[in-house]
Amino acid sequence: MPRGELLGPLEHIILLALVRLKSKAYGMTVRREIEDRTGRNISIGAVYATLERLEAKGYVSSFTGEPTAERGGRAKRFFRIEPGGEEALRASHEAIRKMTHGLKHLWGTG
Amino acid sequence: MANWLLSCFLTARDREEVRGDLVEEFQLRTQSPGAGWFWYWGQVLRSIPPIVWNSVRPGCWIRTLAVALAAYIVAGVIEFVADAALSRLLSLDATVHTVLSLIIGLATMLASGYIAARLRPGANAAMGVIVAIAVAALMAAQAGHVPLWYQIAFLFAGPFSVVAGGALFARRKA
């Protein structure tokens, strides 16, 4: 990640979803993981647009799986986080951790 | 219909995967009450803006916008010349003239959308947005000069023709 460039909020959340889903990360599972955990009902178009942006930056890679019947014979496109993406995620987390240090009383947790 | 609409904006690479994801989740959701077509259409309509934005911005978005604007201007000139020729060469009834103008206009938009997409990926989507804004502005500026049905028809069918032109190019390329 270029120095000083942080991940956008949706990029951050989607990379975290890829980490959680591991080998099961494709458009639908990423969208559902985000909706289940954050309550954000984002569109599948926003998921793909963000994943393609991350792929262009080299943070994720993708490959096409086998077509399945429950998808009307259409293939899945699986996504995987790359070392550059893990580094970007760590850097963004670190920046947020530093900026929130000492402010926990504002949202009443730990 | 929803699938077709979404396909107009997706690249050939994404088309099957995105539609497959929607179909798979739709199947899961229809097993529980209160979900179905409303959700599906909501997903399709909310997916279009990020897909359009994503197709416009790679590389240099200003180039995409420039191609879209150039295609729009060329289409406007062709439409104007064709309309002037129609008035000069044929003495038509006003309604027939308006219908022919609409057909020429939409055909020009379709061809321009095709060429814009060929020149730069995403330029047809940007051009569709430009057409929608321009027609809405013209409607506000010169209400009464052209029949309302023509204006409304062009407001919806104009951007649609541009996007369909781009989809036609994507289909041929695939």
**Chain A residues lying within 8 Å of B49, measured CB to CB:** 45
For residue A109, the model assigns a pLDDT of 57
- Between A38 and B145, the higher pLDDT residue: A38
**Cβ–Cβ gap B47/A56 under 8 Å:** no
**Does the structure show a pLDDT above 60 at A1?**
no
**Cβ–Cβ gap A46/B14 under 8 Å:** no
- C-beta separation of B160 from B83 below 8 A: no
**Does the structure show a pLDDT above 60 at B34?**
no
**Cβ–Cβ gap A44/B53 under 8 Å:** no
**Does the structure show a pLDDT above 60 at A77?**
yes
**Cβ–Cβ gap B51/A71 under 8 Å:** no
Minimal C-alpha gap between B137 and chain A (Å)? 29
**Chain A residues lying within 8 Å of B6, measured CB to CB:** 45
Minimal C-alpha gap between A98 and chain B (Å)? 31
Chain B positions touching chain A (beta carbons under 8 Å)? 6, 14, 16-25, 27, 43, 46-51, 53-54, 58
pLDDT tens figures, A9-62:
999 999 999 999 999 999 999 999 999 999 998 999 999 999 999 998 999 999
**Does the structure show a pLDDT above 90 at B108?**
yes
For residue A14, the model assigns a pLDDT of 96
- C-beta separation of B10 from B18 below 8 A: yes
Mean pLDDT of chain B: 82
For residue B168, the model assigns a pLDDT of 85
Nearest to B47 among A28, A43, A56 (CB): A43
Phi then psi dihedrals of residue A81, to 5 deg: -80, 140
Nearby residues of A48 by Cβ (< 8 Å), 6 or more positions away:
A27, B14, B17, B18, B47, B50, B51, B54
- Between B164 and B4, the higher pLDDT residue: B164
For residue B60, the model assigns a pLDDT of 66
Mean pLDDT of chain A: 88
Mutate which: B8, B9, B16, vs A, most A CBs within 10 A: B16
For residue A54, the model assigns a pLDDT of 93
CB atoms within 10 A of CB A76: 23
> For a pLDDT cut of 90, what percent of chain B falls above it?
11
Q: pLDDT band for position A4 (50/70/90)?
A: low
Nearby residues of B12 by Cβ (< 8 Å), 6 or more positions away:
B170, B171, B173, B174
> For a pLDDT cut of 70, what percent of chain B falls above it?
92
Q: pLDDT band for position B121 (50/70/90)?
A: confident
Alpha helices (H) in chain B, listed in sequence order: 2-9, 12-29, 37-56, 61-89, 94-119, 123-141, 148-173
Nearest to B17 among A31, A32, A76 (CB): A76
Nearest to A45 among B23, B27, B46 (CB): B46
**Cβ–Cβ gap A43/B46 under 8 Å:** yes
For residue B11, the model assigns a pLDDT of 73
For residue A110, the model assigns a pLDDT of 47
Distance between CA atoms of B10 and A63, rounded to whole angstroms? Answer: 18
If you count residue pairs, one on A and one on B, with CB atoms under 8 Å apart, how many are there? 77
Q: Determine the residue of chain A that is closest to B6 in CA distance.
A: A45
